[in-house]
Structure 1
Amino acid sequence: MSLQAPSKLLELAGQSLLRDEAMAIPALGELPTELFPPLFMEAFTKRRSKTLTAMVQAWPFPCLPLGFLMLTPDRKTLRAVLEGLDVLLAQKVRPSGCKLQVLDLRKDEIFRSMWSGAPVRSPQAMSQRQTGDDCPGTQRQWPLKVVIDFLSTCDSKQEKKFLKYVFEWAQQREDLVHLCCKQVMILGLQTPSVKKFLDMVELKCVQKLYLDMVELECDQDVKMCNFSEVYELGRFVPYLAQMKSLQKLHISYTFEDNYTWIEKPEPEKVGQVVARVASTFLKLDKLQELSLFSVCFLQDHLDQLVRCLKTPLETFQMTECRFSESEMKHLFLCPSMHQLKELNLSGIILSDVNLEPFQTLLENAAATLQVLILKDCCITDAQLSVILPALSSCHQLITLNLRGNRISKAVLENLLRHTVSGLRLVGYPVPEEC
């Protein structure tokens, strides 16, 4: 028979309070601060609506990180929290013990540490997030900030209703509530609900943007590639231009090999779209990470886009695309690539490309480059020998992936001799002899 560890006195006191809501609510004013998080979680799990409403009004911390408790969104418990916030917003003077400034609805593992008391990797960043000081979107002071991620990819109808409910609640109180969205993930740009959301939030707050333009499907057997999504990207540019705090931009175009063209792109129109996106990049002076996945419409326009990167990037990812040698040269020699920490060119065919410009890129980024992924690039022995001296000078490099390239055993051994010292994670191809 196993013995269970005895419950802490505070936990027992909290459980006792929740057995009788009529007794618990008046006692909140005398409740020790450390008892609020476990008691709140208990009340939330057991759906004690009246206790939740009262606890929000007496919350003794700057932030209420509700997101990870909403893994299975329940409107009744959410409504109880929002009703407590309504009471606070209606008061000119808040109760002395209440310090609530931010309702954080992101499903973020970091905030588990606030509830559990576990150590945090960056206490300063944690403090900023709790008080809302990490929000660069607006200088206006709001009584309450509601932080949320928008994921149009969520499959759960319950979760979509939850998002809609929060948006409508915040919109009805727009003079009192700042709806702050840090991360936006959009699957398909033409959905009316996406545009409605983008018109509702303060786009200056967005720091991460994921755009996935998907193929059309008429039935299960026929895949059709429609470039109307590319033109729709042009209509998205006014929204992108407002995201002045954007740090990470991921653009992908998802389609399968067995597709049928139903609309071929007109080069002039595609060029116009890329030009509008590129001109917007001039306004994104906080952009640190740019990822382009299977964006076939960028062919012949890559250099046009890269030239407009205003600040040095920390991460650049471009996979499964085909570009000319001239375009790749412009990319490798672009000043915005000189301080990279991570470079991923997986699936970019480099076998017919002069890699001397790439060698120059490695030399320029030698002091900062930590991750280099050249998987399935068809790099040859001769090309690897060209870049090896520059590669060996990248002393910060900790991850190198060369899998899927046609490299001989002798060149691999030479590579090992020059690069293995500081590497922690390495992916080498199987030598051609094997």
Structure 2
Amino acid sequence: MECWSHDSLLRNKTLGIASLESLPAELFLPLFLEAVAGRHSETLKAMVRAWPFSHLALGALMKAQQPQQDILKAALDGLDDLLAQNIRPRRWKLQEPESAQLKTKRPKVDNSTKEKKQLLAPVQVLLEDFCLQKATPDEFFTFLMKRVKQGKGLPQLCCRKLEFLDMPLGHIQKILRMVQLDCIHEVEVNGHWDLLTLASFAPHLSQMVNVSRLRVSHIMTISFIPWATEEVEKLLSQFSAQLLSLHQLQKLHLDSVFFLEGRLDQVLRCLKSPLVTLSLTNCLLLESDLTYLASCLNTSHLRYLNLSEVNMMALSPEFLQVVLERASATLHRLALDGCGIRDSQLMSILPALAHCSQLPSCSFRGKLVSVVAVESLLRHTVLLSRFRLKLFPVPQECYVGLQGTVDLGNLRCSLAELRLILQALGRPNSVLLFSDSTCTYDVILLYSVT
């Protein structure tokens, strides 16, 4: 083929489209990016029709170039043209999803027929992240929903991360019909749903068998069903039973989930593999829940444990001792912010915390710990071999007045005492900083510069 620059191919639409059949594959992607950026819709449509690769990574291109709906329409129209044909173009290499290949029985054809033509299979469009949100739906979602209403055919979507942000379940179910669910590795549900809606979504979740990270946020109980009824137990069982299918699940985040009180065991016992991350934040939990957490086999190799905003003021710290002891060889991050932990509780877990040799980061932000307890916390953690960053609470002696504002004079005295401890421990290069406006709680930041 005669050598043409990208600019000339894009400026001369007729020449560009005619040259696609012989354009080297290594030039295809750069030209496609330029066509997207320059909004050359007709060239873009023709390039999709002659796409020489096995998958169309439309999502990554859209994220990089931020095209408008006309670009999305051109790309999907190119697919429409192909789907309307009975045979594939010579360079066509887009493949159907593996799961579709397993489920679909292919018609038997003789070799001569196979050489002449190849039936067009469903195509796969790759999306790195697919975020569905009601308030500000992105253009891709809006365009897809419009095509669904028009009854048009759609490609099979393959995405690694799927997010639902305040999206009605009905809309989600329509989109999930065109998503290859076993391609998904991360799922985030933040729909301000009730438990009934979550239970209705659960069967879709069970088909996402390769999910390794699941985050569920802001799930309320059902307003018209009393809290302690059998119906709530039934709905929770419907949700948790689907976790049995998630053999790859390693990271579980439950935030502002208000049906766990006295029922955490129903969720954790359905996990099929050990967790590396467990985050239970702003949840109502009983001592029985935390006791089960300490004995659960799936929490013995945690790398990250976050129990922030879980009220522990009246709870025994024994479960924390057990969790820290069991995960001492693997724990890398610990967050206990806003838990209402008092001196006696903190002091009781320090020996176990000191054995967490892999712990570079921990956070204990709050206002109920004395300067003596903070000093003990410093002594037990600063010598950890992988020490990098710790967030310590400002001692309660530093607060004055009804509003609990920090007295900077008292704080300077406390910081001076802590610096002396660092020097005595042989860590004079560790740095203490005070932050009062960037964090939810007043906090002392300690980090190592060695």
Do both proteins adopt the same fold according to a TM-score greater than 0.5, normalized to the shorter chain?
Answer: yes
Cα deviation for residue 93 of structure 1 reads 5.0
How many Å separate the matches in 1 of 2:143 and 2:205?
Answer: 25
How many Å separate the matches in 2 of 1:430 and 1:196?
Answer: 50
Native 8 Å contact 2:55 2:124 kept in 1: no
How many Å separate the matches in 1 of 2:19 and 2:191?
Answer: 53
How many Å separate the matches in 2 of 1:137 and 1:351?
Answer: 53
Match of 1:413 among 369, 375, 392: 375
Cα deviation for residue 48 of structure 1 reads 1.8
Q: Does 1:152 align with 2:133?
A: yes
Native 8 Å contact 2:69 2:140 kept in 1: no
Match of 1:250 among 194, 215, 236: 215
Match of 2:389 among 425, 431, 434: 425
Decide which structure has the larger Cα Rg and report it. 2
Question: Alignment partner of 2:310: what SS?
Answer: coil
Deviations 1:127-158 (A, max 9, x none): xxxxx8xx889745856212342513461474
Structure 1 residue identity aligned to 2:341: I
> What does 1:370-381 align with in structure 2 at a 5 Å threshold?
370-381=332-343
Equivalent in the alignment of 2:182: 204
Q: Does 1:82 align with 2:73?
A: no
* Structure 1 pair 58–232 and aligned structure 2 pair: CA distance change class (3 A): closer
Cα deviation for residue 248 of structure 1 reads 1.9
Match of 1:164 among 136, 142, 145: 145
Cα deviation for residue 360 of structure 1 reads 1.4
Identity of aligned residues (%): 38
Cα deviation for residue 312 of structure 1 reads 0.6
Native 8 Å contact 2:169 2:197 kept in 1: no
How many Å separate the matches in 2 of 1:327 and 1:264?
Answer: 21
* Structure 1 pair 87–283 and aligned structure 2 pair: CA distance change class (3 A): same
Q: Does 1:391 align with 2:353?
A: yes
* Structure 1 pair 419–327 and aligned structure 2 pair: CA distance change class (3 A): same
Cα deviation for residue 332 of structure 1 reads 1.9
Question: Alignment partner of 1:55: what SS?
Answer: helix
* Structure 1 pair 44–200 and aligned structure 2 pair: CA distance change class (3 A): closer
Question: Alignment partner of 1:214: what SS?
Answer: coil
Deviations 1:204-230 (A, max 9, x none): 333322223427xxxxxxxxxxxxx22
Equivalent in the alignment of 1:180: 158
Equivalent in the alignment of 2:198: 233
Cα deviation for residue 199 of structure 1 reads 4.2
Give unpaired runs (5+ residues) of structure 2.
Answer: 105-120, 399-450
How many Å separate the matches in 2 of 1:305 and 1:44?
Answer: 45
How many Å separate the matches in 2 of 1:342 and 1:83?
Answer: 45
Deviations 1:149-174 (A, max 9, x none): 2513461474442232566799736x
How many Å separate the matches in 2 of 1:254 and 1:32?
Answer: 52
Native 8 Å contact 1:378 1:404 kept in 2: yes
* Structure 1 pair 200–79 and aligned structure 2 pair: CA distance change class (3 A): closer
Equivalent in the alignment of 1:305: 267
Give unpaired runs (5+ residues) of structure 1.
Answer: 1-9, 103-131, 216-228, 256-260
TM-score normalized by structure 1? Answer: 0.75
Aligned-pair RMSD on alpha carbons? 3.2
How many Å separate the matches in 2 of 1:274 and 1:136?
Answer: 30
TM-score normalized by structure 2? Answer: 0.72
Cα deviation for residue 399 of structure 1 reads 1.6
Q: Does 1:19 align with 2:14?
A: no
